[in-house]
Amino acid sequence: MTAKITLILLLAGLGYSWEEIKGIAIMQGFAGLNLFAIFLLMALGLSVIFGQMKVINMAHGEFMTMGAYTTVLLSWLCETHAPGLLTWYFPVAMVAAFFVAGAVGFLTEWAIIRHLYKRPLDTLLATWGLSMIFQEAFRQIAGARETSATMPEWLMGSFQPFEGVDIPINGVFLLSACLVLTGLVVANLYYTRTGLRVRATVLNRDMAGAVGINTTMTDRMTFALGCGIAGVAGCAFTTVGSISPSAGGLYIVDTFMVVVFGGAGSIVGTILAAFGIAQAQSVLEFFLSGVLAKVFVLGAVVVILMIRPQGLIASKIRK
Amino acid sequence: MNSFYRSFLGGRSGTVGLVVLSLLLLVVLPLSIDAFRLNMMGKYLSLAFVAIALVMCWGYGGIMSLGQGLFWGLGGYCMAAFLKLEAAANIAKEAGTDQIQALTTVGIPDFMDWNQITELPWFWYPFKSFPLTLALMIVIPTVIAYIVGVAMFKRRVGGVYFAIITQALCWAMEILFVTRQGWTGGINGITDLRTLLGWDIRTPDAQMTIYFLTCIGIIGCILFGRWLLNTKFGRLLLAVRDMEDRVRFSGYDVANIKTMVFCIAAAMSSIGGAFFVLNVGFMSPKLVTIEPSIYMVIFCAVGGRMSLIGAVYGTLIVSFGRTFFSEEFPALWYFLMGSVFILVTMVFPEGLAGAVNRFGPPLWNKIARLWRKKPPAAPAEEVKP
Amino acid sequence: MIYPHFALELEELTVSFDGFKAVNGVTLYVAKDELRVIIGPNGAGKTTLLDLICGRTKPTDGKITFMDKVLTRLPEQEIVRAGVVRKFQTPSIYPKISVFENLELSHPKGRTAIGAIFFRRTPDVVERIHMVAEQIFLKDLLNKEAEQLSHGQKQWLEIGMLLMADPQLLLLDEPVAGMSVREREQTAELLRSICKGRSAVVIEHDMKFVRRIADKVTVMHQGKVLAEGHMDDIEKDPRVVEVYLGH
Amino acid sequence: MSITTTSTPRTGMLSRVLRSIAATCAVIGSAAAMEDGWANPVLDKFPTATVNTTGLATGDHWVTVGQLHSVTGTMAISETGSVEAERLAIKQINDMGGVLGRKIKIVQEDGASDWPTFAEKAKKLLIKDKVGTVFGCWTSASRKAVLPIFEKENGMLYYPTFYEGLEASKNVIYTGQEATQQILWGLDWAHKEKGAKTFFLIGSDYIWPRTSNKIARIHIEKKLQGCKVVGEEYYPLGHTNFNSLINKVKLAKPDVIYSVVVGGSNVAWYKQLKAAGITGASLEKDKRLLLTISTTEDEVRGIGGENVEGFFACMKYFQSLPNENNIKFVAAFNEMYKDKYSGKASIGDVTQAAYLGPWLWKATVEKAGSFDISKISAASGGIEYKEAPEGYVRIHDKNNHLWSKARLGKMRLDGQFDVIAESPELIEPNPYPEGYK
């Protein structure tokens, strides 16, 4: 409580210089952007899977963890076999994370998801089972303890654009990774033949099949793409957090909230939702406590969804 | 009598199923397993209330709630609050025990004292009265379910969205319960519950009695569920699930129907939570959160989402499997359970009950044919709503 | 122009989906006891018009009045309770329960959640069900699971479900679609008989069928009313021939 | 990990069938289990009939104990070290000839990071397995869940974690330090040695961090001259985004960042601190510091030494303690788990405290001359253990906690701590501190 009052007072300028307040404002703004990048990275893959295919993938968090473990594995390989490569292994790890998670996603679609397209709520149960299996597999292979990848030097520390302002380099990296990935996904969905096929299949599966689109393959590739993006997100997360077998579960609800809040099927909606939720949480965290911020944000999202169940962005069509 | 037979017992196969379940719960289990395992069964059965509620809400009404743990937890917390106040009042009489040393304010729950709360918060007062506690145990979850239901169903939030929103609510609730630890006991929950109206619930005899009470509660819920699903309301639920628009264009307010079943499910789950506290002796926010809520849906799915009795078997089998495997092969448990969920959703969407209904009668006929000359054996276990 | 005896009045009804006006300024009056048929090419806005009347879609502009009651912003169930019922293009029945129960659910008694719980199957309800079942040619199939009916029988069942409530206005979207020739004849007869004493708006493509049942015909095209009148006049209208009937 | 199972008879056909299935599968595992051919050399002196009058699962040649930790779930990460340390101690005791000539058999149960499961398994250990004692639990919540069961069934629990205090059960021996033992001396040190005046208290949101910070706050505001708390913040367990908090800390510029962040959040917390330019070196430059009571060698392994170098921790034990007991202990630990850690195990404060459990129990049983719980409980006060890795420890006469020293360690790049200060005397455990409520 005292902390709260102190903070309000100091923001009123009592005892703090303008420079300091400005510095904090910039850093706090960046903290919000950072959280935005995290939310968006998490939600992007899910937005593709849930939004485009209406599949509820409860194992999404595990695909992220998978990408993170891939990074840890590569970092370990570099450390033990080729310390010279440690500086630049990270971009390679990102690509590897994409393909590992994507390949597993491909198999998952073939083995499980394709049988459940007509029953979206059942995909929830099946993928929950899948997430249990994945978690235990991670535990068996990598051990129950928290691990983290060794970061290359250039990803650590902060840079100071001017006095009193520290911008975390891993945050900048996270943000740029997030923007590039989002750009690639949007470009892929809206400006390529593949993307056209995906959208056509989503809109009208039978028709798409009739005009010669291999809908089975399109579904499989879409699912794999979503999982691959999750893998990249997991890789990016190793710069800010830790990895444990059950880490994926921490993110899954947040992720679904972002996608649902944005409006299923709309990438733009997902971006907006990630931005809104992240900024709200970041600002509330600064003025309230971390716990209350979380409760408020969850509450606000639920209330807004009650008022606007279709999410932020939704197309209005004849039902 | 005839209508009672039809609507409560569900005809011949329903009666057989219910009798088999009752025999199993009330006779076979108490005779064959020891007090410790029986108490575990009681604990599992308190989860079966939620599974039964989900059969009505999800199997029939098509409303998948991933936040049922919220209501279950509310029931548990109400009961725990009452027991805790009784324990706190009694502790004053046991001066000289270890606990008394810990308390600066005697007569309020110990965790409040640890959090510098010296006076009972106002909303704890109703839990000093047992009848009021019982009433609140039903009223609080029902009111919350009503608010959520009206807000969502009027706006036609359904399916996946409803599932995710209930999940978020459940999570928000857990965070609140954890963070207001002076009011709720925080992450430790409300522990060290001893007596119910002066009756020591920790003795083996009391545990046995509570087990039987839980069984009776379960059977009561099944009968209630049978009756409800046999009314026009039950058929409306199916209608809403399959053809929501048709129901609406038959002049029904679909939102009201959904809210109703959601409220009933909430109240029933809450009763289960209260039984849990009696069986286990404490309440914890860990039980209110997302994972147990998903487990509850899974109990229901494994048992058969359309079968009230199946839900009970589903709960017992999954919970027992969980305990057994975590005792013997901790690692295997997750692999096995994960595979079971995938298998059940893919191959047996109707769960155990569906499988029994599909394979039971042919098998029974075969057995009957083989034993034609001999007197009939006990009927095959049939699981029907 | 005032026609106080009109049952249904649509005035300047417009609905826009992201800028696309599916129904654009439609004004339509249906008299009591009239059977009106709406025809028009695909995408003309016929089904959307029915959606608007029954409350499934809310109009962006305009007014709907039925028996002096404004329906424009009412929720669906209120519109139904005002006596307006709707049959969908594809048969919309409850597949998992019997024909009898399908009809019973459509009985106006016990329409609230609590009412439904304490609903009793009284003799008058049963009698009403048997009466309707006879009308829709399903009296021997009352105990059959609705899912197992033939396509045409499902269409009838849905009409029967509408009749249970003894409505004032029937909105029927392609009631004979997918029916055999014989079934069509029976349905035409059925519509004729049930429309006695109530109004109906029917969407249909089968011109032979339209001619058999229609009092008056409205032709829609691109969200607007193109022509209105008796079948004989409509068939001769060059614009209608151009956009719909073909040469 | 082999799980030694005892052959407690069970009634009931279902459980018998299941048990026989389990037994078949467990044959492989029990190959590594203890041989029953052990002969008790002191059986004449301590006949079973006198050392075990309450029907514990204890015979002429063996005694059964329970081990109850989370092997699965989120807490498995933290509890693994305790499981291993207790097993090491038990193995060493068995090699020395056991307790009263009886070798120790372990029944291990998994609490699965779930408090009701802990309660259920505690009941099983006490009622079905009738174990002589239980080593187990880690979080406060799991202890609170099992405590009434231990008191009701009269069992004995050796609890290894540093915790919030406010408890002293005759059925629990607390081998970790209670809050005042860990907090007060460390704060005094920061104030006296480092001249700290302002403190920012940070914690995960549950009872131990909250109680610890409460005690710290009272101590800072009432006992330390001219000191004040400039902020107090809690985040949910498992929270991974601390940027806003870090900004608040930057704005408040406290002399001491007092961190009680636990579990997985730790990694994110320290990584993000480093990314925001707050490191041990940068703080030292401004004569400030970060002091934690929740980060041990165990956690640092996951966080990475580069992220925590130069921060301080106040514990009673550090792996780098140079005394002879500890060197032997660390070597033995590494030897026992060499396949797993290849000689580089991280041993934290709690792991060491868990190691004390079996030794203290052994000493108590030998003093009491009996395995009976009531006699052990009565004999516990004053039990000493001189070979403890942390140095000498003694069970308090009244409250079942340990007298122990507090130490300050500075974190190094390699994940170890330099011990830079040590309380001169053993600190008395005081679970109900006067003036701190």
Percent of chain B with pLDDT over 70: 88
Interchain CB distance below 8 Å, C48 and A318: yes
pLDDT given for residue D8 in this prediction = 38
Band (A82; pLDDT cuts 50, 70, 90): confident
Whether the CB-CB separation of D107 and D6 falls below 8 Å is answered with yes
The pLDDT assigned to B216 comes to 93
Residue A6 covered by a domain? yes
**Please, how many CA atoms are within 13 Å of residue A31, restricted to the half-sphere of its CB?**
28
| Closest CA of chain B from C108, distance in Å | 8
What domains can be seen in chain C, in order of their start residue? Answer: 1-83+168-247 (3.40.50.300), 92-166 (no CATH)
More confident of the two residues B359 and D420: D420
Half-sphere exposure of B40 (CA within 13 A, CB side): 24
With cut-offs at 50, 70 and 90, classify the pLDDT of residue B327: low
> Is residue D82 domain-shared with residue D144, that is, in the same domain?
yes
| Shortest alpha-carbon distance between residue C181 and chain B (Å) | 27
Q: Are D303 and D344 within one domain? A: no
| Domain assignment present for D298 | yes
Please give the ipTM for the structure prediction: 0.82
Flag if A157 and D275 touch (Cβ within 8 Å). yes
Count how many domains chain D has: 2
Question: Looking at the DSSP assignment, which residues form a beta bridge with residue C87?
Answer: C172
The predicted pLDDT at position B93 comes to 65
Same domain? D243 vs D387: no
Residues D46 and D122 in one domain: yes
Longest distance between any two alpha carbons in chain C, whole Å: 59
Task: Give the distance, in angstroms, between the CA of residue B349 and the centroid of all CA atoms in the same chain.
Answer: 21
Q: What are the beta bridge partners of residue A237? A: none
Determine, yes or no, domain membership for D9: no
CA distances from B195 to B75, B86, B107, C79, D116 (A): 17, 7, 15, 56, 19
Mean pLDDT (chain D, rounded): 85
- Residue A158 counted as domain residue: no
- Give the 3-state secondary structure of residue A206: helix
- DSSP one-letter code for D427: B
How large is the average pLDDT for residues A108-130? 86
Q: How confident is the model at residue C4, as a pLDDT?
A: 55
| Angle, helices B290-303/B351-370, rounded to nearest 10 degrees | 30
Q: Where are the domains of chain B?
A: 2-297
In this complex, the chains that touch D, judged by 3 or more CB pairs closer than 8 A, are A, B
Does residue A148 register a pLDDT over 80? Answer: no
Cα–Cα distance, A2 to A7 (Å, whole number): 8
- In chain D, pLDDT over 90 holds for what percent of residues? 40
Does residue C44 belong to the interface with chain A, where contact is any CB pair within 8 Å? no
| A150 within some domain | no
Residue D80 lies in a domain: yes
DSSP state of D176: S
pLDDT averaged over chain B? 83
From chain A, the residues in CB contact with C48 under 8 A are: 318
Q: Closest CB to B189: pick one of D115, D167, D168.
A: D115
Q: A294, D236: Cβ pair inside 8 Å?
A: yes
Q: Decide if pLDDT at A277 tops 60.
A: yes
**Ranges of residues in chain C whose predicted pLDDT is under 50:** 1
Q: Which amino acid is at D232?
A: E
HSE-CB at D334 with a 13 A cutoff on CA atoms is 12
- For the ranges A45-54, B21-30, B338-347, D70-79, the lowest mean pLDDT is seen at D70-79
Mean pLDDT of B237-251: 87
Lowest mean pLDDT among B107-111, B308-312, C90-94, D391-395: B107-111
> Which range marks the domain in which residue A114 is found?
2-143+166-307
Best mutation site among D126, D144, D153 for testing chain B: the one with the most B CBs within 10 Å? D144
pLDDT for position D29: 39
Give the residue with greater pLDDT, B379 vs D226: D226
Of the partner residues C18, C51, C56, the one whose CB lies closest to the CB of residue A315: C18
**Residue B266: pLDDT above 90?**
yes
Q: Give the model's pLDDT for residue D67.
A: 94
- Cβ-contact A53, A223 below 8 angstroms: yes
Count CB neighbours of B248 within 10 A. 24
Same domain, D45 and D172: yes
Please check whether residues D129 and D41 belong to one and the same domain: yes
Contact A159, D92 (CB under 8 A): no
Query: Taking 50 as the threshold, does the pLDDT of residue D3 lie above it?
Result: no
Residue B92: the pLDDT is 65
Same domain, D81 and D157: yes
Q: Output the pLDDT for position B260.
A: 93
Q: CB A121 to CB B342 under 8 A?
A: no
Q: How many domains does chain A have?
A: 1
Assigned token pair, A132: 């249990």
Summarised one tens digit per residue, pLDDT across range D145-166 is 899 899 888 999 999 999 888 8
Domain range for D110: 34-177+338-403
What is the dihedral angle through the alpha carbons of B344, B348, B349, B350, rounded to the nearest 10 degrees? -120
Contact C113 B259 (CB under 8 A): yes
A99 Cβ neighbours under 8 A, 6+ residues apart? A228, A231
Q: Is D250 an 8 Å CB contact of chain A?
A: yes
Q: What is the CATH number of the domain that holds A172?
A: 1.10.3470
CB contact under 8 A, D116 and B280: yes
pLDDT of residue D106: 92
D1 in any annotated domain = no
What is the C-alpha separation between C25 and C28, in angstroms, rounded?
A: 10
HEC profile of A204-265: CHHHHHHCCCCHHHHHHHHHHHHHHHHHHHHHHHCCCCCECCCHHHHHHHHHHHHHHHHCCC
Q: A105: pLDDT confidence band, cut at 50, 70 and 90? A: very high
What per-residue confidence (pLDDT) applies to A259? 87
Count the alpha carbons within 13 Å of B326 in the hemisphere toward its beta carbon.
25
In a domain, D233, yes or no: yes
Nearest to C111 among B228, B231, B252 (CB): B252
Are D247 and A31 within 8 A, CB to CB? yes
What Rg value do the Cα atoms of chain D yield, rounded?
22
Q: What is the pLDDT of residue B305?
A: 85
Tokens read off for D35:
């041989």
With contacts defined as CB-CB under 8 Å, which chain A residues touch D238?
250
Mean pLDDT of B229-235: 88
**For residue B6, pLDDT beyond 70:** no
pLDDT at D17 over 60: no
The pLDDT of residue B265: 95
Q: Report the mean per-residue pLDDT for chain A.
A: 82
User: Region A289-315: what's the mean pLDDT?
Assistant: 79
Q: Is residue A152 part of a domain?
A: no
Q: What is the pLDDT of residue B377?
A: 47
Is there a contact between A241 and D247 if contact means CB atoms under 8 Å apart? Answer: no
Residues D130 and D259 in one domain: no
C-alpha span between D420 and D125 (Å, rounded)? 42
- Distance, CA of A12 to CA of A21 (rounded, Å): 9
| Amino acid D12: pLDDT | 44
Q: Flag whether A touches D (3+ CB pairs, 8 A cutoff).
A: yes
Instruction: Assign D256 a pLDDT band (cuts: 50, 70, 90).
Output: very high
Q: For residue D288, what is the domain's CATH number?
A: 3.40.50.2300
